[in-house]
Structures are given as structure tokens and as C-alpha cells.
Amino acid sequence: MVADNRPIGIFDSGLGGLTVAKEIIDALPSEDIVYFGDTGRVPYGSRSRDTIRKYAAEDESFLLKQDVKLIVAACGTVSSVASDIGAKLPVPYFEVVSPAVKSAVNETKNKKIGVIGTNATINSGEHKRQILELMPDAQVFVKGCPLFVPLVEEGWFESQDDVVKQTVERYLADIKKADVDTIILGCTHYPILSEAISDYMGDSVKLINAGTSTALEIGKFISENDMCNENKKIGKHSFYVSDKADSFRRIASLLLGKELDSDSVEQVDINSL
């Protein structure tokens, strides 16, 4: 049996991609992971298409320098506006829009699907385009929710927090009125606010976390292509950030449900490596 013991490379503008990393770690515990969070330049979602594409290309080339076997754009914004760059990489590339769209189309009963994401993601129209391709008679209701990202990066995601509750209500009021039964969390930061979003929308509305189906796709791909890490039982997880390591470590430990030690998170200047 051939194996590929190199790590899986994952990147996001900040902490949000950890929701995808967690699903990958849970589904593929023996894989080594290298995660890059571009915390010095977050948020991506309010920037121009050209800037997002430039940042995505730099993040990907940083991960390639870590000798990863595949790259995951664990960022809805990059997946929406820069996947053509990823598709040209010398290693397999995964993004988070199409797995989420497939899950939503499978889940919806009333064919009314909400999509929330950063402004760049919503303006790209990518989720809507892909949903209508798979389900032409679906009704799609979209909303950019830019303030969700700084709330999460600040560590404010408790569902009982008044600021969180009010922000959720203000952004999601129209989608709630539209009677959707499924919402794609089109930004990887948003699953961290799932409880608050569910409290407002009600339990009957299914929230789609792109990380779950992306992790399944990756697992299937590496096993079909003999690319699993056969060296280890428990993989090593390394985290790189472009701003202070400390605040990232604190919130990442909370989100991943395990204490990250001080040498597992390193601050780097990706352009000087």
C-alpha cells in the first residue's frame, strides 16, 4: 500500500477555518495538519476581489513551502472568489462552497435555502449559482453578515450574549421571514455562532457547516488515491498565524476543545519565508 505521510494544509483569514480543521481532525485523526490563519489581514470578506485573490495565492504558496500533500481553502470568501487559482496548484485543492451546496440541496424539503456569508462571498453569487444548477426550482435568500467575523475573532460567540443576539437578529430577520428550512453557513467563522443562529431561527431550520462535508470529501479522496498517513495513530497539528500567536492560541484551544501548547502556534511573515 502506497502512503503519503505529508501533512494536510488548511488556510483561512483567521480563526474561522478551525471549524473545518476540527471536522478534518475528527474524521482523519492520523493525519498531520498544518494550519495557516492570516490573522494579520483578517477580514478578507470586506476586501476587493483582487486583494482576496492575492492573499489566497500567498497563503497557498506558504502552505506549499510546508510540503503539504493537499490544500484546503477553509474560507468561504476565498472559495467563492479565488478557487480558479487553487485549482491550478501542484497539489489537490479543496474548497468549501460546493460541499456545502450539495448538503443543502440534499437537506431542504421546501426548497427554500438561505445563504449567509461575508459581503465578498454573497456578492460573488457563487452559492446561489451552484444551488440553482443542482435544483433549478429552489428559492435562494442571501445575506451578507460582515460583523459576525470580528465578533468571533474577539471571542464573542456565546448565544446568550446580548450583542451576539442583537447582531444575529438584525442580519437574519429577512431570511427568517422567508421561511427557509436550510441555511448554508457560507463563512467558516459562522459555525462558531451556530447556537445563537439556531436559537433565533428555531430548531427546525437546518444549518449547514461546510466543514463536515468537506472533511468527508477529503477522507474519501485520500483513501481512494492512497494518500493516507500510515505512519501515525495520532497526527501532529501545527498552527501558523500572521499576527500575535497568543490570542489565537487561547480561542483556538476553546474551539478545538484541546489546550494548544505554546510551541504549536507560531507567528510568521509568510512573504519572507
Residues found near ligand DGL in the complex (CB under 6 A): 12-13, 16, 42-45, 75-77, 118, 121, 149, 187-189
CA distances from 236 to 17, 31, 113, 251 (A): 17, 7, 38, 19
The catalytic residue among 20, 56, 63, 75 is: 75
Of 175, 187, 201, 215, the catalytic one is 187
Q: Which residues contact 129 (CB under 8 A, 6 or more apart)?
A: none
Least Cβ distance, residue 225 to ligand DGL (angstroms): 26
Grid coordinates representing 266? 507560531
145 catalytic per annotation: no
Closer to ligand DGL at the Cβ: 77 or 212?
A: 77
Helix (H, G, I), strand (E, B) or coil at 266: strand
221: alpha, beta or left? (left if phi > 0; alpha if psi -120 to 50): alpha
Taking the complex as a whole, the smallest distance from the CB of residue 126 to ligand DGL amounts, in Å, to 11
**Rounded to an integer, what distance in angstroms lies between the CA atom of residue 71 and that of residue 91?**
7
Longest dimension (CA), the chain: 54
Considering the complex, state which of residue 87 and residue 234 has its C-beta at the smaller distance from ligand DGL: 87
φ, ψ of residue 219 in degrees (nearest 5): -60, -45
Q: Which residues, 6 or more positions from 48, have their beta carbon under 8 angstroms from its beta carbon? A: none
Residues serving a catalytic function are 75, 187
